[in-house]
Amino acid sequence: MPFDAHAPSEDLAAPSAPPQMPNAESPPPRTSPEPQTGTVAPIWLQRLSLFVLVLFCVYLGVLVMVLPWWTKAWDRNLFIQSRPALAAVLRNGAVRGLISGLGLLDIWIGVSEAIHYRDHRR
C-alpha cells in the first residue's frame, strides 16, 4: 500500500527542540580516544613479504609479456579457437602489444616496490 493514512506526516510531526548553543560552562564535546596502532611486523617478515611480492610481480609480468607472442600457447588453444570473434581480436598485433605492455608494467611495479622499500620499525 503506497499511502498509509495512519502514519504521521513530517509536516504534522511535533517540532523538535531547538539546538543547544555551546556556552562557556558546558564541557567540551567528548572525542573518541585515539585508536591503538597495530603492532609492526618483524623486519624479517617485512623483507620476506617484499621478496614474495617482487618475485610474483616479475614472474607474472614476464609471463604476460611473453605469452601473446608464443604462438603455440596463444593462437592454438581451445579457448580461443572456440570463439572466432575473440580470436580475430587477440591475433591483432596491437592487442598483443597492449597485453605485453601490461606485463612490462607489472615488472616495473615489482622493481619499483623493491627500490622504494623501507623497513617499518617500532
- CA 5 to chain centroid, in Å, comes to 48
Average pLDDT, integer, range 46-65: 96
User: Which residue has better confidence, 71 or 54?
Assistant: 54
Q: What are phi and psi of 34, to 5 degrees?
A: -60, 135
User: Which residue has better confidence, 118 or 55?
Assistant: 55
**Residue 23: per-residue pLDDT:** 62
Alpha helices in the chain (DSSP H): 43-66, 71-74, 78-81, 84-90, 93-115
**Is the whole-model pTM more than 0.85?**
no
Q: For residue range 71-98, what is the model confidence (pLDDT) as tens digits?
A: 888 888 898 889 999 999 999 999 999 9
CA torsion through residues 14, 16, 18, 23, sign: positive
Q: Which cell goes with 29?
A: 564535546
Check if the beta carbon of residue 43 is closer than 8 Å to that of residue 103.
Answer: no
